[in-house]
Amino acid sequence: MNNTIFDSGKLEKDLSCDMLSSIIREHADKIPLRPISSAKENQLLNRAISNLHIEYAEAEHIVLLSAVLQPSAQAICRLIVQDFIQILQIKNKDDFNPGTIVDFVNELGFADDHLGKAHTRIFKATFAYMLLQIWISHTFTYKNYGIVHQLSNKTRGLKGSKLAALFGIMSIFLNRHSGVVNRKHTEMRKLAAKYFPVGCFGEVMIYGNEETQLIFLLSMMDFLGFKYVGVE
């Protein structure tokens, strides 16, 4: 991958932002970028490219409107939505049931001090996080332990990796920012800040073509111990 792709995307910043950028970028080598490699990952890339020529399905519109997202990485967002629809078998508005989604999410074990249990009364405000929790839990394995949603939070390192993936993807790819939750999340931000502009509040977002977005996502998930296997 040619790093000049990313250098050309730099934006000019004032002095305070430059100082913040330098702090975030320091020691940003813990997550190596790597190419898309497995069959499942290549299928994901091919789907992202095909999506450029395919109209959004009714179910995709329903999910995106409910999530209220303005993602920097639109290709990643659409892939997440498509997998979510397949996991919950949503075809139309009648299939989109907030109560069912909330119950589904509360079985996944993400709730902690950073993220409370899901509730229908705040569904609109929190659905984007539910969407991502379901996607991470049902389309990724963790190390050699198996699919995420089948694992206990007592599995070594899993709880921290799940939270880093949730809040990291939400901020770096989907443009919804809520602070840094742990050291692993910090490393994700450092990698992004090495190639993309950093805002004055420390926010950094990934954009670019479909392959670029996926390389960053999959490299970060590798660091957290996750491998994409798709909807099974």
- Written as six digits, the tokens of 109 are 């074990």
> Based on C-alpha coordinates, what's the Rg of the chain?
17
Q: What is the pLDDT of residue 117?
A: 76
Residue ranges covered by each domain of the chain: 11-24+32-228
Q: Which residues of the chain are modeled with pLDDT < 70?
A: 1-29, 111-115
C-alpha pair distances (Å), 209 with each of 49, 76, 154, 193: 9, 10, 37, 17
- pLDDT tens digit string along 215-232? 999 999 999 999 999 998
Three-state secondary-structure class, residue 142: strand
DSSP string, 171-185: HHTT-------SHHH
Neighbours of 26 (CB within 10 A): 9
Q: pTM here?
A: 0.87
**How buried is residue 56: exposed, middle or buried, by Cβ count under 10 Å (0-12/13-18/19+)?**
middle
Question: What is the CA 120 to chain-centroid distance, rounded?
Answer: 23
pLDDT of residue 3: 39
pLDDT at 72: 93
- Do 43 and 51 form a contact (C-beta atoms < 8 A)? no
Kindly list the distances between the CA atom of residue 85 and the CA atoms of 36, 79, 95, 104, 173, in Å, as whole numbers in the listed order.
Answer: 24, 10, 10, 13, 19
Distance CA(90)–CA(211), nearest Å, equals: 27
